[in-house]
Amino acid sequence: MKNFLIAAIAITVSVAIYPQKGFSLSVGAGYGTASRLIPYPWVSDFDLREAEVSLGSFVFPQISLGYSFSDGIEGVISIEYATKKSEFYGQTVDSEAGTIFIPVKDGYTFVPLEFTLNYTLPFSTEQIRVFIGGGGGLYFTSSLREVAGIKPGSGGSKTGYGIHIVSGIDYFFTRNTGLSFYMKFRDPEMEFKGAYESVTGIHNGMPVRLGSDVFNQKLSLEGTIFFLGLKVNI
């Protein structure tokens, strides 16, 4: 959330202080269709290795700054903040009562910083702009895994990169203000490899111990992104 707020404030302040013809500012919300975790991707047991936890769809805020290089070409810098949490049974630990199976809290934060180049289709008008485009970005991702109060001490954050394509429409109900709707297609997948901050924790008031401090995980956010927001030409 911190990275998103810093970038959002920087974009807003820069536009307010240095307004220039050709710039636009968009603020709105997005909807992602799918996200899933693969908690134990490299264990020897086949069933456990292939197990996955579906986290379902997710909703997130987004802010973007666009600049029209010409009547048909627009460059857009955008940032989003998505987070999702879940709980499932999937960890064996040692305790005073022997080996027991306990729940795992898991999830992620996902902050993509992306650049997109949009092309306005020729049949567009001043009121209705239909566009297609593509680009790439950096993905700042963190795992929210927690086992008996034990969190990843290293390897729990990852910076990745990827590409995307978009298609959408801008509808202006005044000369400079309108609504923007678009679909984005991307397929980010991150792998986390590291170690837990400790191997000892507490579950239901009882001390427990992990069999290893090794922390591995895969996160997949494949699917389609839908975005709706307010767009203002500056």
Predicted pLDDT at 154: 80
Ordered strands of the 189-196 beta sheet: 53-54, 36-38, 214-220, 189-196, 152-154
Q: Are 27 and 63 in contact (CB under 8 A)?
A: yes
Q: What is the pLDDT of residues 111-155, one digit of tens each?
A: 999 999 999 999 999 899 999 999 999 999 998 989 989 998 888
Give the separation between CA 83 and CA 5, rounded to whole angstroms: 14
**Half-sphere exposure at residue 87, Cβ-oriented, CA atoms within 13 angstroms:** 7
pLDDT beyond 50 at 17: no
Q: What is the DSSP letter of 122?
A: T
Contact residues for 14 (Cβ-Cβ < 8 A; gap 6+): 65
Where does residue 122 rank: exposed (0-12), middle (13-18), buried (19+ CB within 10 A)?
Answer: exposed
Q: What is the pLDDT of residues 179-208, one digit of tens each?
A: 999 999 998 988 888 888 999 999 888 999
Domains recognised in the chain with CATH numbers: 2-10+23-233 (2.40.160.20)
Predicted pLDDT at 16: 45
Q: Are 102 and 58 in contact (CB under 8 A)?
A: no
Instruction: Compute how many other C-beta atoms are within 10 angstroms of the C-beta atom of residue 201.
Output: 20
Between 6 and 118, where is the model more confident?
118
Give the separation between CA 169 and CA 52, rounded to whole angstroms: 36
Give the separation between CA 233 and CA 175, rounded to whole angstroms: 8
Q: Which helix (H) or strand (E) holds 45?
A: none
